[in-house]
Structure 1
């Protein structure tokens, strides 16, 4: 996807970068502390760098680190990462119409680089997939810009955190800045009553099911919210935009 020069030259690429820029300080802080956590968890420098570059998923990285330290079986670690990232199944279903015209290799690269932030920013700027070639190209350029800005703002601080782990105290708690940043982006998506209902249902379910293992409360929250939206989406009052 991102090796095509015409995407960089498209005006929507710069729009995507600009839309992502307000989120980059929070992402950078989160990435920095994730890098520190990896380095201090007992992983070697090569293992930490490999995990940062290959996994590119902050939530599952942080969820798997305590299991790695505790010497948990590999299947438990993989199951935990799988459960934490199941929300991307829902994102993928939504992005299907945006990306299915691409070859498999480009879809795989796009899947690696697309995160909660870039998904939210794309769907806020372009609520519906374009039907024509020019529109699809513009949406891809926008996604490429936001993904590149997001990847750099996460990866560079994460690598710095790994290298400088002994000089950056974990007690700073900078990782919470990334969560606040993500909440800010998600809040801007609450443009209809149905979206607000889905957010409330997901939040309540996640809190009520917090005791479930492997972060399954997140998966359950997504499932319940999706079912609630499917049951309510036929009601015009809920799907109308808020004034």
Structure 2
């Protein structure tokens, strides 16, 4: 670890520490939901480690419980995680280079909070070692917080009072992540389009309205980014 890597790690960790607090209620809700769906502790933590995405986990759980076809479960998980295509494209240049294993690790650890908090700094910092440290340190920390809190939710599923309204706190945590990302026009267009479609199509069976809303939001975001680039070239 070079001095610049450690310096970036310190900056990234401090910047993302407040965001990581919001992961706790969201992870607790996810752990509780998996136990409520009939998962054992090993199954729940296995899913948490392999999928490592609350939206994919919570989006597929009702389908698993309902005995939906495997193709629909897989398609739902892929669709709700399509936003990571945008995140990965934005992070590709700041985190370019390095060994393949390290790039795989960076991809696995990619989360909404670190992306929203560190993207602009990573895109402007010239030192690649600094960028890597600023990304990996908070990403590893958020992964640790997530898995630990999920395990607590799984183990304490029968002890956490329902009147704690963890679902509401988790939603607030997501809004905290959304606000900084919405400062960019493509992200704002994507969020607005997805939100409107989700409300309009909420009556579709098997929560398919959410899938349509996600695809529509991402398509709108790409269109807005393309339009913005064309305007900048004029």
TM above 0.5, one fold?
yes
Query: Which deviates further from its counterpart, 186-195 or 64-73?
Result: 186-195
Structure 1 unaligned blocks of 5 or more: 237-243
Alpha-carbon distance change, 195 to 217 in structure 1, aligned in 2, over 3 angstroms: closer
Alpha-carbon distance change, 102 to 129 in structure 1, aligned in 2, over 3 angstroms: farther
Alpha-carbon distance change, 198 to 163 in structure 1, aligned in 2, over 3 angstroms: closer
User: Partners of 1:216 and 1:136 in 2: how far apart?
Assistant: 38
Q: Can you list the C-alpha shifts for 1:172-196, whole angstroms capped at 9, x where unaligned?
A: 3313333322322332345466665
Q: Can you list the C-alpha shifts for 1:28-51, whole angstroms capped at 9, x where unaligned?
A: 111011111111211122111211
Equivalent residues in 2 for 1:143-182 (5 A)?
143-170=135-162, 172-182=164-174
User: Partners of 2:161 and 2:93 in 1: how far apart?
Assistant: 44
Q: Can you list the C-alpha shifts for 1:132-158, whole angstroms capped at 9, x where unaligned?
A: 5xx111111001122022112211110
User: Partners of 2:212 and 2:114 in 1: how far apart?
Assistant: 23
> Does residue 112 in structure 1 map to residue 92 in structure 2?
no
User: Partners of 1:68 and 1:201 in 2: how far apart?
Assistant: 28
> Does residue 61 in structure 1 map to residue 57 in structure 2?
yes
Residue of 6, 13, 20 corresponding to 1:17: 13
Q: Can you list the C-alpha shifts for 1:157-214, whole angstroms capped at 9, x where unaligned?
A: 1011111111124553313333322322332345466665555445445544555616
Q: 1:234: Cα distance to partner?
A: 3.9
TM-score, length basis structure 2: 0.85
Q: 1:58: Cα distance to partner?
A: 0.3
Count the aligned residue pairs.
Answer: 228
Equivalent residues in 2 for 1:131-210 (5 A)?
135-170=127-162, 172-191=164-183, 196-197=188-189, 199-210=191-202
For residue 89 of structure 1, what is the aligned residue in structure 2?
85
Residue of 61, 78, 81 corresponding to 2:74: 78
User: Partners of 2:5 and 2:99 in 1: how far apart?
Assistant: 21
> Does residue 33 in structure 1 map to residue 14 in structure 2?
no
Structure 2 unaligned blocks of 5 or more: none
